[in-house]
Amino acid sequence: MINKWKNKSEFWIAGAKLADTVTRTLKAGSIHIKRGRIEEIVWKKSVDTDLPVFDAEGYLVTPGFIDIHSHLREPGYEESETVATGTAAAAAGGYTSVVCMANTDPAVDDPSVVRYLMDKNKAAGQCRLYVTGAVTKGLEGRDISEFHLLKEAGIVALSDDGKFVENAKVMRSALEYARMLELPIVSHCEDPSLARGGLMNEGYYSTKLGLSGIPAESEEIAVARDISLAELTGCRLHIAHVSTSGSVQLIKDAKKKGVPVTAEVTPHHLTMDDSMLEDYDRNLKVNPPLRTQQDIKALKKALKNGTIDCIATDHAPHNEISKQVEFNFAPPGMIGLQTAFSHLYTELVMSGDLELIDLVRLMTSAPAEVLGLAGGTLNSTEPADLTVIDIDEEWTFNGEVNKSKSMNTPLADRKFKGRVKGIFLAGKWKRTG
């Protein structure tokens, strides 16, 4: 049926196992879709209806995945990714909504750039796109952007991601201004005075490999400062790509005090450690760097106990030429939108580290709550944004199936279990796998 389905304005999805992140249940059910929204859920495998039925027998149907941290590189770096190719990769990975970062060229510090991105996404039509505005003009860390104009243009958050706002007074002003506009600030926590020139995590393996290290404290000092400023100003602060056990403890303590802070972790920081750099694979060079097994253990625990709120990909495409240089000169970052679910399902769920329903929640309702976005649940009246998965299918990620414009990933030719077959976007079916 999924191969032959023609879009209807009103229909049922039946036969599937549904992932309800609100009640944390996985059970058979049917979904009534009407004019792009979820009309109702019936917890039965089949329904008696005269409406058309999308037969999802054998599949898992979840709320559409939401990624709140992606780099789509447009405008300015279209040789690595565009809105069209990045959102195509997202759709193939089961994402129905993506939040793009502001470190483009020009940066997203002007309403015209926000509108440009939205127009590009409207033309591409792959998934929903939300835009992050720059905290400071040109990402230079000096003068804050015109937040109210950016909000009027449609941004959902502010971030200089890729750079830490070094000047504490500038960051305080940004947080105060953002709080008045009810916009969260997403912080790239990394003290450059400690991280500058570093190529990987500072520790045993950096010494063994002769590569300059980035200490955990470079992240933790920055996390501590921004948490302190969030407490001072009352602004919502979201810590991007948490990578160390020390950061986890700081966030845990801040939440206990009632500071309005949330946090995310990437799939690669949950599954890869610094020992893997022994073959100098440039695709494993990321920012923040891959840490230790002890850090991974703390990150997994933080996901389970709610210290870390959600999973985000930090999808960071770089074209082949820019990565085909010596390790020292390769830009940090890896792609991840198309592999995130299957990667984590294979590595964490099948190993017993994480329940499937929790993985779905961390990729749907949890990120939606962090930024206040629509969707992420199967509640009636929500947009009919859904992801359809064959949880038993084995597949290999390679250049033939990759939808991104770049292929900078250590997961090339890796075999996964659990494949996204397609998404419903506002009730319209898009087969992807």
Residues designated catalytic: 314
State the Cα–Cα distance between residues 38 and 383, nearest whole angstrom. 6
**Phi and psi of 346, rounded to 5°?**
-70, -45
Tell me how far CA of residue 363 lies from CA of 47, 64, 277, 355, in angstroms. 29, 8, 28, 13
Q: Quick one: how far is CA 180 from the chain centroid? A: 26
Residues 6 or more apart whose Cβ sits within 8 Å of residue 370: 68, 184, 238, 262, 264, 309, 310
Contact 408, 333 (CB under 8 A): yes
Q: Characterise 258 by phi-psi region: left (phi > 0), alpha (psi -120 to 50), beta (else).
A: left
Q: How far is CA 9 from CA 34, 192, 215, 289, in A?
A: 6, 52, 54, 46
Can you tell me the distance from the alpha carbon of 89 to that of 403, in angstroms, rounded to the nearest whole number? 5
